[in-house]
């Protein structure tokens, strides 16, 4: 295997010029150099994957996500059986989205950071505090909107 000194692209041993940038290639890597390169890349990859271990949710987030999922089911049942309107069905959809935001927020942020670390060849990337704040704020706002729509639907059914 050859590695282009200009763009660092990997090339086969039979190439004379880089297929990516067109520069002339140097000599092939030895077996030891190839093995060392593969080992260092495996180490980098495993270090980047180890950053995905902290996906556990806090107890409050687990409770809020479970309550959101439960309210989604209850709202859908009420919309179809009791209230006979679309407001409770909208509340069910809002609570379902809220559950997804809670249970998958950290996973989505970590996956995004993992792919960014591969793209930019940077170690230990983490989501910004602003991104985490935005996700949390959107989740709590969605939960409040869902509760408001469900209360509105219940009050409309009582009158």
pLDDT tens for residues 49-83? Answer: 554 444 456 788 788 888 888 888 888 887 777 77
Residues 6+ apart with CB under 8 A from 108: none
Residues 6+ apart with CB under 8 A from 62: none
Kindly state whether residues 120 and 147 are assigned to the same domain: yes
CA distance 106 to 126: 11
**What φ, ψ does residue 100 adopt, rounded to 5°?**
-65, -45
pLDDT of residue 80: 77
pLDDT tens for residues 126-142? Answer: 777 777 788 788 888 88
Kindly state whether residues 141 and 79 are assigned to the same domain: yes
Total domains present in the chain: 2
CA distance 130 to 132: 5
Kindly state whether residues 33 and 98 are assigned to the same domain: no
Kindly state whether residues 74 and 135 are assigned to the same domain: yes
Q: CB–CB of 10/3 below 8 Å?
A: yes
- Of 12, 33, 50, the residue at which a domain comes to its end is 50
Kindly state whether residues 108 and 70 are assigned to the same domain: yes
CA distance 19 to 103: 44
Residues of the domain holding 18: 2-50
Kindly state whether residues 64 and 112 are assigned to the same domain: yes
Kindly state whether residues 38 and 71 are assigned to the same domain: no
Handedness of CA 107, 113, 115, 117 (dihedral sign): negative
pLDDT tens for residues 13-40? Answer: 888 888 778 888 888 888 888 888 888 8
Kindly state whether residues 23 and 80 are assigned to the same domain: no
CA distance 133 to 12: 47
């Amino acid at each position: 295997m050859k590695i282009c000194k200009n763009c660092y692209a990997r090339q086969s041993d039979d190439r004379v010029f880089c297929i990516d940038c067109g520069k002339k290639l140097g000599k092939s890597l030895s077996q030891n150099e190839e093995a060392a390169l593969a080992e260092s890349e495996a180490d980098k990859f495993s270090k980047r994957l180890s950053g995905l271990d902290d996906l556990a949710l806090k107890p409050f987030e687990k409770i809020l996500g479970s309550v959101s999922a439960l309210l989604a089911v209850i709202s859908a049942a009420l919309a179809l059986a009791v209230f006979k309107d679309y407001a409770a069905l909208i509340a069910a959809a809002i609570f379902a989205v809220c559950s997804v935001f809670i249970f998958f927020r950290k996973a989505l942020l970590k996956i995004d950071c993992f792919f960014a670390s591969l793209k930019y060849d940077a170690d230990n990337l983490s989501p910004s505090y602003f991104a985490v704040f935005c996700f949390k704020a959107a989740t709590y706002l969605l939960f409040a909107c869902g509760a408001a729509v469900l209360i509105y639907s219940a009050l409309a059914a009582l009158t």
